[in-house]
Amino acid sequence: MSSGNGQNTKGQPGITQAALFGLCPRCGSKGLWDSPANLAARCDACGLDLSRFEPGGRGLYLVVLPVTILLVLAALKLDEAVKLPVWVLVPLWALVVPLAVIGALRFAKAVVLRARLENEGLL
Ligand SMILES: [Zn+2]
């Protein structure tokens, strides 16, 4: 017996799945990101025009700035707690900073994308 409910959200990925695994919020197929923190132009599976809903501009500073401040504070705390040599710190932060910024941007863009799609009734 199938559900006769018009708002069938079962099977759609959540925000975390969309951000981490690049799953389309409408059909759940892979391919939401075409670069580390940029949405693909459209979903290859369902044809959803993603570029129309991509957040950009100064609004993303609200995501990047707090992450940057937290990373600087974490670096200071780490240096205070454990005196790591520079040859360890450079590769450590070269790995942590891009991962943190890209992760935060992906999560924020997935939240905004989902909200905009719900506003337009596309989910
Ligand atoms: Zn799709």
| Per-residue model confidence (pLDDT) at position 10 | 61
How many angstroms separate the alpha carbon of residue 59 from the centre of ligand 1? 25
How many angstroms separate the alpha carbon of residue 45 from the centre of ligand 1? 5
pLDDT level of residue 12 (50, 70, 90 thresholds):
confident
How many angstroms separate the alpha carbon of residue 2 from the centre of ligand 1? 22
For residue range 76-90, list pLDDT tens digits in order. Answer: 999 999 989 999 999
Q: Which DSSP string corresponds to 55-84?
A: --GGGGHHHHHHHHHHHHHHHHHHHHH---
How many angstroms separate the alpha carbon of residue 50 from the centre of ligand 1? 9
Name the residues around ion ligand 1, CB cutoff 5 A.
24, 26-27, 43, 45-46, 48
| Residues 89, 84: Cα–Cα separation, whole Å | 7
For residue range 90-118, list pLDDT tens digits in order. Answer: 999 999 999 999 999 999 999 999 999 99
